[in-house]
Structure 1
Amino acid sequence: MKIYCDAFFCEFELEIEKIKKETTDPISQAKQALQYIEVRLKELFKWLKKYIFNSIEEEIHFFKELKFKITSKCIFYKKLLDIESISPLNSNKQKLKHYEKALDICYQFPKKDKEFYKYFRSGSSYNDQLYFVRNLDKQIINSDENSINFDKKVCTSHDLKLASIIANDLLEIYLEEKIEQINNSCTIKHPARKSKLTWTGTKIEIVELIYSLYYQKIFNGGKAEIKEIAEEFSIAFNIQLDNSIYRCFTDIKNRPTPKGKFLNGLSENLDENSNDEFD
């Protein structure tokens, strides 16, 4: 297996990178990539139907560590094509709303299957034999990502769920970059007011605080967007908060639980110092 898969996935990654470099238009790039992926998937599935794994561990390794390298790209480019095909053509303001809406959908993605999402993100392996070994008797739930292939000989109950998580990560990065490009092309300046306070903590700490307040719906009756809140924090605390906040939030989501490291520290600090005042 190793010889075949090493050569297959190496060649696949090189060709995808070549397509990305040679085709800058996102729609053309997605179409070209999907055409190539479809051909390579057929090759992989043809091999997979004939190959007999040497052990359960080898099968788990293939479906957990290897297969997503191609299936995640398939899911990613399908979603990218959907987003770009209906993207507004002229208005940067409308484009920004379009990409931000798509990005918000990405952020909601973990809610679809919280248990498996936590399982994967935490690096767990106790259910690998259940999730990443084929079972011809087990039902595979019909979903968009499973449209790649329903044949139980080439997929397990969860390998495409894993590919969807990776694809969602890729889409988040893509959308963050598109949003940043639009913002950088606009000469939007903050009002001329100077705060006396400067944030001296880390950027990821202030991002954790901003998102917590956003999800708590603290501002404008819960209608304020992340970007609006970040802009106000930038002014209030003399810190540059551009669209890297989205990437910072991805880092926070990828942490082992608990996610609110900074907020937990604030709560503990408040409890300790409040108790000291009355001792």
Structure 2
Amino acid sequence: MRTFAERFYSALENQLNEVSINGESLAEQYKTSITLCKKAMAKLKNYISSYSFEDKEDEIHFFKTVKPQFYSKYIYFINVYNFIMQRPLGGDDILKDYINYELADIKRFFDHNQAFYQYYRSGSTQMDEVYFTRGGFDVHVELEDFEEDELYSTSHDYKLSKIIANEKYLDYLNLELQKTIEHDEQPQEIGLELPLTWTFNKTDLVELIYALVALGVFNNGNTEIKSVVSFFQTVFHVDLGAYYHKYTDITRRKKERTSFLDKLKLALLRRIDEKLDDVTSPQQKMKFE
């Protein structure tokens, strides 16, 4: 099951990345993404309907990890699509109010689910058998987040999907809010005379972004390539265009598959060595070696 789920999820991500470069409007892109996720969810459910879990651990893995991967994307795309379609006309102040309302709504959701959210973010497992195996649903608890199909749902898998989706939606909203702020004034904390502009090869930046996301350095690994790409484009004033095609080119390299990362490592080591060479005392230099 795990191998199938990983391949199936990878195929979905490839489809979603293709959507982002097909030239459609943002609203149409998200609408198409919703459709793709919905189809993928249906196929996943159909596969599991004829699959027998090997043990409790296998069942927990599916409802805690696999299913929320698919459902969280679906919920996230719906959230962003609704945001775009309901975006008010007017100046930045009106847009800020709209974004802040959405942010407040997300805060209410996390406050309402604080205990389970802490359980999820802390990586706890002691309640997994209760939360992520079927048959433990209490009609008086978690009613709003339980799906009707008890053979394909646990008491908390849908809630976890919403948490993951809202974390991603939070990233999206904060980025949109930052854009409105930048229209008003240069952020004071940056204090640069000139903006930072990416002047290296764009493929190098794509390689760096994918490496950072692969390592999970943002939001404990719960973020999408799209969000990070959008952030880097804004901060470094660069248009990465069809960034997924650049990533595909990287994966097809026969030699030096991580050429830019290798250059970064060499550059840092060279800088460290130069710093050591500046140390005049041999005794001081030995401390660094």
TM-score by length of 2: 0.60
Which position in structure 2 is the counterpart of 1:205?
none
Residue number in structure 2 paired with 1:157: 155
CA contact (8 A) 2:137 2:155 kept: no
Counterpart for residue 27 of structure 2: 27
Q: Which amino acid aligns with 1:7?
A: R
* Unaligned 5+ runs, structure 2: 192-217, 223-289
Structure 1 residues 1-279: aligned runs within 5 Å: 1-22=1-22, 25-135=25-135, 138-139=138-139, 141-143=142-144, 149-184=147-182, 186-188=183-185, 239-240=189-190
- Confirm or deny: 8 A CA contact 2:132 2:156 kept in the other structure: yes
CA drift of 1:137 comes to: 6.3
Report the CA distance shift for 1:151/1:188 in structure 2 as closer, same or farther (over 3 A).
same
Residues 51 and 159 of structure 1: CA distance in aligned 2, closer, same or farther (over 3 Å): same
Output the CA distance in 1 between the equivalents of 2:32 and 2:126.
39
Please say if residues 136 and 153 of structure 1, whose CA atoms lie closer than 8 Å, have aligned partners that are also in contact: no
**Aligned AA for 1:97?**
D
User: Cα RMSD (Å) of the superposition?
Assistant: 2.6
Preserved CA contact (<8 Å) 2:63 2:132: yes
C-alpha deviation, 1:102, in angstroms? 1.0
The residue identity in structure 1 corresponding to 2:94 is: Q
What number of residue pairs does the alignment pair up? Answer: 194
Contact 2:137–2:154 (CA under 8 A) maintained in structure 1: no
Give structure 1 stretches of 5+ with no counterpart: 190-230, 242-249, 255-279
Cα offset, 1:132, TM superposition:
0.5
Shift in CA distance, 137/108, structure 1 to aligned 2, threshold 3 Å:
closer
Inter-partner Cα distance in structure 2 for 1:251 and 1:137: 30
Query: Are the counterparts in 2 of residues 131 and 156 from structure 1 also a CA contact under 8 Å?
Result: yes
Percent identical residues: 25
Q: Cα 1:20–1:85, aligned 2, differ >3 Å: closer, same or farther? A: same
Q: Give the counterpart letter for 2:130 in structure 1.
A: L
- C-alpha displacement of 1:251: 6.1
Pair 1:137–1:159, CA change in 2 (3 A): closer
Name the SS of the counterpart of 1:82 in structure 2: helix
CA distance in 2, matches of 1:129, 1:167: 23
Q: Secondary structure at the match of 2:118?
A: helix
